Amino acid sequence: MKPTLTLLAALLLAPLAELHAADLAAPAAPSLGLSVQDGVLVRNGRPYRGIGVNYFNAFGRVLADSSDTTYQQGFAVLREHGIPFARFAACGFWPSDWRLYQTNPTEYFRRLDGVIEAAEKNQIGLIPSLFWRWPTIAELAGEPHSAWENPASRTHALMRRYTEEFVTRYRKSPAIWGWEFANEMSLGVDLPNARSLIASRKPIPRLGVPAPTDADIATAKTLTTALTEFGKLVRRLDPHRIIISGNSAPRPSAWHNTAEHSWTLDSREQFSEILVRDNPDPLSVLGVHWYPSHEKRFSKEQPASPADVAQVMMTTAQRARKPLFIGEFGDERDRTGFTDLLRTIEQAGVPLAALWVFDLKQQDKDWNVTATNDRAYMLKAIADANRRLSTGLR
Q: Tell me the DSSP string of 300-322.
A: SSSPPPHHHHHHHHHHHHHHHT-
In a domain, 38, yes or no: no
The helix, strand and coil proportions of the chain, stated in percent and rounded to the nearest 5, come to: 45, 15, 40
pLDDT value of residue 31: 74
Backbone angles phi, psi at 352, to 5 degrees: -150, 135
Distance CA 126, CA 53 (A): 10
pLDDT value of residue 302: 92
The answer to whether 246 touches 287, Cβ cutoff 8 Å, is: yes
In a domain, 95, yes or no: yes
Which amino acid, one-letter code, is at 358?
Answer: F
pLDDT value of residue 101: 98
Structural domain count of the chain: 1
In a domain, 305, yes or no: yes
Task: Return the CA Rg of the chain.
Answer: 20
**Any idea what the CATH number is for the domain that residue 366 is in?**
3.20.20.80
pLDDT value of residue 10: 52
In a domain, 123, yes or no: yes
pLDDT value of residue 15: 44
Distance CA 393, CA 311 (A): 20
Q: Which residues of 370-381 are buried (b: 16+ CB within 10 A; e: fewer)?
A: bbeeebeebbeb
324 alpha-carbon distance from chain centroid = 13
283 lies in which domain range?
5-14+43-392
Distance CA 10, CA 294 (A): 44
What are the distances in angstroms from CA 54 to CA 58, 75, 86, 333, 367?
Answer: 9, 12, 5, 19, 11
Distance CA 132, CA 246 (A): 8
In a domain, 27, yes or no: no
Low-confidence ranges of the chain (pLDDT < 50): 1-6, 13, 15-25, 394
β-strands 352-355, 40-43: how paired?
Answer: unpaired
Distance CA 291, CA 329 (A): 6
In a domain, 270, yes or no: yes
pLDDT value of residue 362: 96
In a domain, 376, yes or no: yes
Q: Judging by beta carbons within 10 Å of its beta carbon (0-12, 13-18, 19+), is residue 133 exposed, middle or buried?
A: buried
* Predicted TM-score (pTM) of this structure: 0.94
User: How many residues are given for the chain?
Assistant: 394
In a domain, 28, yes or no: no
Q: Which residues of 316-353 are buried (b: 16+ CB within 10 A; e: fewer)?
A: bbeebebbbbbbbbbbeeeeeebebbbebbbebebbbb
